Amino acid sequence: MRNLLILSLFILFISCKNDTKTGSENDASGQFLKTDNSEATDPAKLTIPSACEMINEATLQSILKISGSAVNIKEANDPSSNSAKSCFFRWEDADTPNAGILIQIQTNPVFDEYPQYISGFVAAKLTNGETALGADKPSIFKKFTAGETVGAYSYEQSRFYWNLGNNYLFMLAFNISTLGEDKMVDIGKQIVSEVNKNFATKVNQ
């Protein structure tokens, strides 16, 4: 079952400090990512724009071919955390109850202890996968490229992760039961590009 479990979305970014092997430097397939050792900015100095402003209704309807339904856009921030902002985008779909996507933007929650946490998190998905609650084995993640962005996605978990250096971590999750892997990746890459474009506009204002 690939339906999104809403309660699990707020514990997505568990610490990867002990889980950041990023693959052999001689990896011929190019499947793995290396942790970005660029200097990280103190998250206290960073602004996290609203995740609901990362894509508008019309663009999402166009990408996902949504017809006959408005998209309900709702902030889904965890009030106990100031290091992440989330947004649900939901619409009516006869084939998928509670159809929608979730976009989350996060800064480094363990900056003092692990400045490279952000890029290490994404890189570790490709080598170690991600174990869902109640699962015996980790889900496999694969590399995706959207423009100049390289990240990790899991078809099994309907989830994409990517980063902006060591400052921002992004997550896109789908709850659309009718998407095959190729279609999910194509749609995901379009949404990632749109998020990146709007994010750059917001943080540079």
**pLDDT, tens digit (0-9, with 9 covering 90-100), for 162-180:** 999 999 999 999 999 999 9
Neighbours of 205 (CB within 10 A): 6
Which pLDDT tens digit goes with each residue over 51-73?
Answer: 999 999 999 999 999 988 999 99
Those residues with Cβ within 8 angstroms of residue 100's Cβ, 6 or more apart along the chain or in another chain: 4, 88, 89, 90, 91, 175, 176
Contact 84, 78 (CB under 8 A): yes
Contact 72, 92 (CB under 8 A): no
Low-confidence ranges of the chain (pLDDT < 70): 1-35, 37, 205
CA 1 to mean position of chain CA atoms: 20
